[in-house]
Structure 1
């Protein structure tokens, strides 16, 4: 059967009709509304538009926020207007279709396990590097959510005591040093601390924030300062992979998110740092570390797979 996966992010809502092999047959998108009713309208409108051309049997939502263990309610999303909202039941009644919710990183991890870079792994971890860090853990193909539906929050492990402030309210969180946002912040600090030439200096002098994409583009052109920032990012990622391995001992780790598009710049160095930092790294079997295969569609595809696997009749 065909299902619709909807990736509800902080800036846009992306929906797609997905078949049993994980192939996206049709897509549509809309801006993320800042009002709960308007966001319901956006999701329902996309599903209705896609369903008009395909026999859709169920809908899965990948949500950038906390989803209750029953996967019917969105408890909180920093960039979404839903607060303790019974989104699944409300949309199901409106659409006349079964609806299930999933955290967006879990949905992406599910997609990579079923049809992507972690296919068939017994213990798989997804680390999604974007504005922050999302993470998912799958045990024998089943998403592990923890007792209250929020595990694993790898991005908010404290790695630098009294370090950079984090929007979560803590300081020194991993995502402040190892994310797309962190690439820009590290570049700004380095540009401000040196007079060395850099392709990154012009936007900084124009008071325009340096983004992770700016850093990646400059590094691809051999900019020395940008390459130093990317190397530091790779070292942080290697340490993060070592933490993941020490706690979960996975057989596969998939590195996804927006920053994974530039994996050629940093992933090999991160793998080397991982081997150096993990406990007994040269005397144990280590996880394979792969870039994600599904890119920006992973959450959407995973949500659709999740809806299909629920076995709606």
Structure 2
């Protein structure tokens, strides 16, 4: 049995909860990662976490818990979680206090950036942008070696970026999410006669004209709005994560063209690359944060 202290990493999404233990000094070495349906109440989340701790076979000391949340987190308080409103206003440190260890909590994209900045594709960089494009769009910024959180933990909500001055807006999803996230791709796929967004992407790869026109719209929306972020922040790299990022082969040309068109010459060659950890980034980031403590966002 290991005597190295361990941490518990929790990746809470809109439909599922993933959990795994790792040594505090090797956060990417997560053991058996389990997946459960997302808890329907805060009490159910607490009970699941306590059950996981009680059932773990390793006798090594538990020294921290890290948890990602798909929404706005201020300190350890979940302020606004659109897909899990049961957590709105809940202090996760208090909720999980019975575990008897410190709790580090953060937005899922910020935790993904933490993983990439400490151990992955942004390792050694001080300035980077991460876009996690899945059902929605999550994002985070590394600036001067720190993950930018803003006054209320809501900085860098890139899914709300807009390139349409006539858009009326929505309360629960931003303009860019409605143009380029997974749900938008599904709608574009249906409109073009395909089963879903994945089928649309495959058709574009096969050279279908209508599919390529739809993908061009998505890539242009991403590149146009991303240009504003690159111009504002001058990052060393842009990292792409999430399921839609797997389509960078077909999205890339229109995305890059929009970037080039909307940036000054000295910023046009910005490096764009995939994240190292893929869908594990949030979970690895939660493990890193659990070991770092409440100021986990201070990467360097």
Report the TM-score range of the alignment, normalised by the length of the smaller protein. 0.7 to 0.9
Structure 1 distance, partners of 2:284, 2:57, is: 19
Residue pair 2:117, 2:123 contacting (<8 A) in 1 also: yes
- In the other structure, the counterpart of 1:90 is 95
Residue 67 (structure 1) aligned with residue 73 (structure 2): yes
Q: Would you say the 8 A contact 2:159–2:173 is kept in 1?
A: no
**What CA distance in whole angstroms lies between the structure 2 residues aligned with 1:301 and 1:67?**
18
CA contact (8 A) 1:16 1:301 kept: no
- Structure 1 residues 150-165: aligned runs within 5 Å: 150-163=154-167
Compute the TM-score of the two structures, normalised by the length of structure 1. Answer: 0.83
Tell me what 1:118 maps to: 122
Equivalent residue, structure 2, for 1:5: 9
CA distance in 1, matches of 2:167, 2:187: 13
1:108, 1:299 within 8 Å by CA — same for their partners in 2?
yes
Question: Would the alpha carbon gap of residues 169 and 59 (structure 1) be closer, same or farther in structure 2, given more than 3 Å must change?
Answer: closer
Cα deviation 1:118-149 (Å, max 9, x = unaligned)? 11111111111112211111123321100111
Distance 1:245 1:269, change over 3 A: same
Equivalent residue of 2:180, what SS? coil
Q: Is the 8 A contact 2:260 2:268 kept in 1?
A: no
* Corresponding residue of 2:286: 303
Look up the match of 2:30. 24
Once the two structures are TM-superposed, the CA of residue 165 in structure 1 deviates from its matched residue by 5.3
Aligned match of 2:277:
294
- Tell me how far apart the structure 1 counterparts of residues 34 and 275 of structure 2 sit (CA, whole Å): 22
**5 Å matches for 1:112-261?**
112-163=116-167, 166-168=170-172, 173-189=175-191, 191=192, 200=194, 203=195, 210=196, 212-261=197-246
Higher alpha-carbon deviation: 175-184 or 156-165: 156-165
Asked whether the 8 Å contact 1:239–1:273 carries over to 2, the reply is: yes
Do structure 1's residue 37 and structure 2's residue 43 form an aligned pair? yes
- The CA RMSD measured in Å over matched residues stands at 2.3
Structure 1 residues not aligned, in runs of 5+: 192-197, 204-209
C-alpha separation between the residues in 1 aligned to 2:30 and 2:66? 14
Call closer, same or farther: CA 1:74–1:283 in 2, change over 3 Å.
Answer: closer
Instruction: Render the CA deviation track for 1:216-244: whole Å, top value 9, x for unaligned.
Output: 23333433322222222111221122111
Alpha-carbon separation, structure 1, partners of 2:95 and 2:57:
20
Deviations 1:275-310 (Å, cap 9, x if unpaired)? 2211x1x24474311112211111110011011122
Q: What is the rounded CA distance, in whole Å, between the counterparts of 2:68 and 2:158 in structure 1?
A: 19
When residues 34 and 106 of structure 1 are mapped into structure 2, their CA distance, relative to the original with a 3 A threshold, is same
- Could you tell me whether the CA contact under 8 Å between 1:14 and 1:30 is conserved in 2? yes
- TM-score w.r.t. length of structure 2: 0.87
Provide structure 2 residue ranges, at least 5 long, that are not aligned to the other structure.
Answer: 296-300
Shift of 1:169: 6.9
Asked if the contact 1:166–1:176 (Cα under 8 Å) also holds between the matched residues in 2, the reply is: no
Alpha-carbon distance change, 247 to 59 in structure 1, aligned in 2, over 3 angstroms: same
Give me the whole-angstrom Cα distance separating, in 2, the residues matched to 1:65 and 1:287.
28
CA distance in 2 between partners of 1:214 and 1:138 (Å): 34
